[in-house]
Each structure stands twice: as structure tokens, then as C-alpha cells.
């Protein structure tokens, strides 16, 4: 499930992946590689680094990662 997709208002592509991981794919901070973590807070910090670098991150991505999971 996508948290953020590349587009007019987003310079990041972040998805929930297998095994409970969260991935930032084609990451501009990681040489277009993939940044992976199992920790939502770590991904929030990673996305804040994108914002600090001048990249667009949709506010909904932060909301999705910080709300309590349904399970």
C-alpha cells in the first residue's frame, strides 16, 4: 500500500512492504536506492530529512505514519 507516490506534490515514493517494512523507493537522499525500516518513527524522520533537503512530501504521508495502526 502506498503512503506517498511521485507526482506534482510529491518527490517521494513510500510504501508499506512485506515483513512490516516501510520503503522509500528511488530515494533521492540515498542515491536513488531504497531506504527501508520497520520503524514508523524512523520513516517520519527520514521524510523530514527529505523536507529539509527541499523535497516535496505530502502531509498525508506524515499523518499515515503517525496514526495508530488498526491492528
Based on the structure, what is the number of domains in the chain? Answer: 1
Q: Is residue 70 part of a domain?
A: no
Segment 9-58, tens digit of pLDDT: 999 999 999 888 999 999 999 999 999 999 999 999 999 999 999 999 99
| 30 lies in some domain | yes
Query: What is the residue whose three cell numbers read 530515494?
Result: 27
DSSP codes of every residue in 18-47 = GGG-EEEEEEGGGTTEEEEES-HHHHHHHH
Any domain includes 69: no
pLDDT given at position 49: 98
> Could you tell me if residue 29 is inside a domain?
yes
Q: What is the pLDDT at residue 64?
A: 93
In a domain, 53, yes or no: yes
pLDDT over threshold 80, residue 68: no
23 located within any domain: yes
Look at the alpha carbons of 15, 35, 62, 59 in this order and tell me if their dihedral is positive or negative: negative
For residue 27, give its domain range: 2-62
Question: What pLDDT does residue 1 have?
Answer: 83
Residue 18 lies in a domain: yes
Answer yes or no: is pLDDT of 69 > 70: no
Distance separating alpha carbons of residues 10 and 12, to the nearest angstrom: 5
Amino acid at each position: 500500500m502506498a503512503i506517498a507516490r511521485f507526482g506534482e506534490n510529491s518527490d517521494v515514493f513510500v510504501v508499506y512492504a512485506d515483513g512490516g517494512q516501510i520503503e522509500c523507493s528511488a530515494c533521492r537522499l540515498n542515491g536513488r536506492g531504497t531506504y527501508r525500516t520497520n520503524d514508523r518513527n524512523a520513516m517520519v524522520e527520514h521524510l523530514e530529512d527529505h523536507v529539509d533537503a527541499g523535497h516535496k512530501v505530502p502531509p498525508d504521508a506524515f499523518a499515515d505514519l503517525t496514526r495508530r495502526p488498526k491492528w
